[in-house]
Structure 1
Amino acid sequence: MTPAARMQAAIELYEGMNGTQRPSDRVAADYFRQRRYIGAKDRRDITLQCYGALRSHARLDWWIRTCGAEVTPRRQILAWRLLALGESLERLRERLGTGKYAPAAPDGEEMELLQCLSTHTLDHPDQPMDVALEMPEWLMEPLSHALGERLELELTALREAAVVDLRVNTLKAELPQVRTALAEEGIETEPCPWSPLGLRIDGRRPVAATRAFRDGLLEVQDEGSQLVALLADARPGLRVCDFCAGAGGKTLALAAAMENKGQLLACDVLDKRLNRSSVRLRRAGVHNVTRRALSSERDPWLKRHKQSFDRVLVDAPCSGSGTWRRNPEGKWRFSPEDLSELLDLQARILESAARLVKPGGRLVYATCSLLREENEQQVEAFLAKHSEFAVRPVRTLWTELLPTTLPEGQGDYLRLFPAAHGTDGFFAAVLERQEVEG
């Protein structure tokens, strides 16, 4: 494809991303699936343009409006090329309206906009803090409450693309073996700093096309997510419930920790997501998992299995604010009403899942959120009503369960951040049901 054709494809894809509530990565996957003639190099370039615009959404809008124009997806892509890539106006104009597959030539109004933008860069001191940090204005207060003096540092990191982390599947291989196998296919990795099972790739590489992936030696999983699963301490022979299992990422990690010994139950209210996990489970060689679709977080099944599990992991539905490096559109689709509904749902899920934990067993509550409302405040509200549960501090659990050094800043709970730890934002609390005396 010519540069002009790639630009037009980026505009088309970006319009599709803006015209739906579906995740942008799925929109992109469908777009390229329907256009198999687009090669890998062209796909990377087109995707770069779209995600560059997504990560610069607020600043691009600010500049377009500052120049007196209306915001459209096409103009955001063109503005990104001028402001972020530093492309010259002359070079951009050469690619507009110059061929069958090129973007249409600009009209007079759009030409005035491009001329206005061409003398600037993406950042400007007049931009409000929420614009400069690419965050909806209403979220700045709760994020400031959660991050304190680290607000600017962490939100700046959240604007950037995330690294790719892999978890070695210890049911089939050890870390050095996987690292060597990937290197033989041209993918260099480094061990993750905190997870003893983690490998990190610099940049995006076709991991899913490797033999190591096809053979089930590894899974793509952020290091923070790996650590949550490890802190669940799912040992061989235990009875474990992954209460909000989804497509099975943490289920796979729990099964490997259990060495396929014991019972692992994967639950979710979305049976389609559970069904999607079957391929991953087979590839990983997991055979101690039973999947169960729940009608709701209050399914009658819960009452029949009261206090029967050694470990219950609640990877709760949340804002996903800790993952907005990967899903930058999520922040713009998230509203105060969404947060209110999530807080109510999280409290109900935590209440219901706790019923499954046997005396001496542990309940692990986790989110990929940065917000205290979804994290510490949920746990503290639960503990205020349930004196039979007590916190097992992460700072002491870590030395019992993991061979690596405890990340900076950990106390009773696990708190991970993009800038501080190089992971997605994660929270986890380990709560133990006390043994009945007498």
Structure 2
Amino acid sequence: MRSHSKMGVRDRAEVTEAVFNVLRHLRLYRNLAESGSGAAARRLAILGLDATLPDDFLKPGLEAQEHAWLEHIRRIDRQAMPRAIRESLPDWLDEKLAALPDSDSLVAALNQPAPLDIRVNPLKVTREEVMAGFLSGPAARFEPQATPYSPWGIRFKGRPSVSRWPQFEKGEIEVQDEGSQILVSLMAPKRGEMIIDFCAGAGGKTLLLGALMRSTGRLYAFDISQARLARAKPRFARSGLSNIVPVVIEPSTDQRVKRLRGKAQRVLVDAPCSGLGTLRRNPDLKWRQHPEALNEFQQLQQRILREASACVAPGGRLVYATCSLLPEENERQVEAFLQANADFELLDAPAIARDRCPGLDMQGPYLQLRPDLHGTDGFFAAVMQRRKS
């Protein structure tokens, strides 16, 4: 697009949607494209555009043999194909997801585009105030609706340019999936506490934590990446929060982390992971991840969880979360941690979440969100408490 700077907004949107469609269905489209001729990339583009544009939109731009090939492709019964091809999954990932409950429903949902969720800044404004402004202004055409679980979320149809809206520039709203908002509710932060967001990244969860603390106490935003925290600083500035302390830390050896041992009332570990719960937004991940990387993530998760847990004060809370769907990154990590750390006990995460998100009907002890069941990205979270004795 940089090399075609004269493309209009609508053209850019249509090309983007088609490219993401191809990424979602890459294995299927490659399989279908084997029957055609000519440049393989052109056949993939035809399939992506055909899936995202109105019927016969492409007809004037196709050669006669391409049109005949596309008509042939449309008649193929895709349900007769193996699921890994039909739903465009690498074999190893299809095998992993097949072990999960209702895996067909889950896989189909992961291949659908995600809606756009935003969150209000409760330090500055209420959701009702923001919704009233949206419904009476240009944003109304995107049909804003309150998210079903989070008390701070709003969901749009389409892809509005939220970053250009005055509410965004004033720090009243932020883009954040409803699942991430629900995860923050597990922390249940209180005014005046010392809280650590151990893997803060671009600061989305940090911002909501700070607002719920009413900008009191001290909120450390730790990350090993200076670039990620640098991207978060403009968001911190817009939010109006004054209690956030961003800190670039060294893995395993940071003295500032060691000085906080046993002092934080609440610690959030949004751990680095495979990210497979976010395939709706990042369909390229299923082609970039591989089984060997899972082993590396598991070792990293164990190390971070061990370091972060040392900062939890007696009686304090530790929340471990990922945007993965795989047990080896989720339940098994928590079970191994609890077995090695008898001073921590597991709490009922869904029961805690319902204090802020009363519509969330789920059995504990873990919080497990799925796109097919909850309309969010795939998330996992466990809440643990350090015993006082």
TM-score by length of 1: 0.83
Task: Write the deviation string for residues 291-328 of structure 1: whole angstroms up to 9, x where unpaired.
Answer: 11111144333222211101110000111111110011
The answer to whether the 8 Å contact 2:36/2:69 transfers is no
Counterpart of 2:60 (choices 89, 94, 102) is 94
The answer to whether the 8 Å contact 1:82/1:118 transfers is no
Are 1:364 and 2:319 an aligned pair? yes
Q: Partners in 1 of 2:376 and 2:231 — Cα distance?
A: 25
Q: Where in structure 2 are there 5+ consecutive unaligned residues?
A: none
Match of 1:47 in 2: 16
Q: Where in structure 1 are there 5+ consecutive unaligned residues?
A: 1-30, 97-105
Match of 1:131 in 2: 85
User: CA 1:94 to 1:190, structure 2 compared with 1: closer, same or farther past 3 Å?
Assistant: closer
TM-score by length of 2: 0.93
Task: Write the deviation string for residues 168-217 of structure 1: whole angstroms up to 9, x where unpaired.
Answer: 10111011111122234321311111101111112211211111111111
Task: Write the deviation string for residues 262-291 of structure 1: whole angstroms up to 9, x where unpaired.
Answer: 000000011110011110011111111111
Match of 2:134 in 1: 182
Correspondences of 1:344-383 after superposition (within 5 Å): 344-383=299-338
- How many pairs does the alignment contain? 385
Q: Partners in 2 of 1:92 and 1:403 — Cα distance?
A: 45
Q: Partners in 1 of 2:66 and 2:252 — Cα distance?
A: 51
Amino acid at match of 2:158: G
Correspondences of 1:315-330 after superposition (within 5 Å): 315-330=270-285
Counterpart of 1:116 (choices 49, 69, 82) is 69
The answer to whether the 8 Å contact 1:182/1:212 transfers is no
Which stretches of structure 1, 4 residues or longer, exceed 6 Å deviation after superposition? none
User: CA 1:70 to 1:331, structure 2 compared with 1: closer, same or farther past 3 Å?
Assistant: farther
Match of 1:300 in 2: 255
Counterpart of 1:73 (choices 35, 41, 49) is 41
Match of 2:109 in 1: 157
CA RMSD of aligned residues (A): 2.0
Q: Give the CA deviation at 1:112.
A: 5.5
Q: Give the CA deviation at 1:81.
A: 3.5
Counterpart of 1:268 (choices 203, 220, 223) is 223
- Aligned-partner SS, 1:241: strand
Q: Partners in 2 of 1:56 and 1:215 — Cα distance?
A: 39
Q: Partners in 2 of 1:292 and 1:416 — Cα distance?
A: 30
Q: Partners in 2 of 1:75 and 1:381 — Cα distance?
A: 48
User: CA 1:323 to 1:303, structure 2 compared with 1: closer, same or farther past 3 Å?
Assistant: same
Q: Partners in 1 of 2:77 and 2:256 — Cα distance?
A: 54
Are 1:234 and 2:189 an aligned pair? yes
- Aligned-partner SS, 1:155: helix
Q: Percent identity?
A: 39
Amino acid at match of 2:359: T
Q: Partners in 1 of 2:117 and 2:94 — Cα distance?
A: 29
Match of 1:423 in 2: 376
The answer to whether the 8 Å contact 1:239/1:310 transfers is yes
Q: Partners in 1 of 2:38 and 2:85 — Cα distance?
A: 17
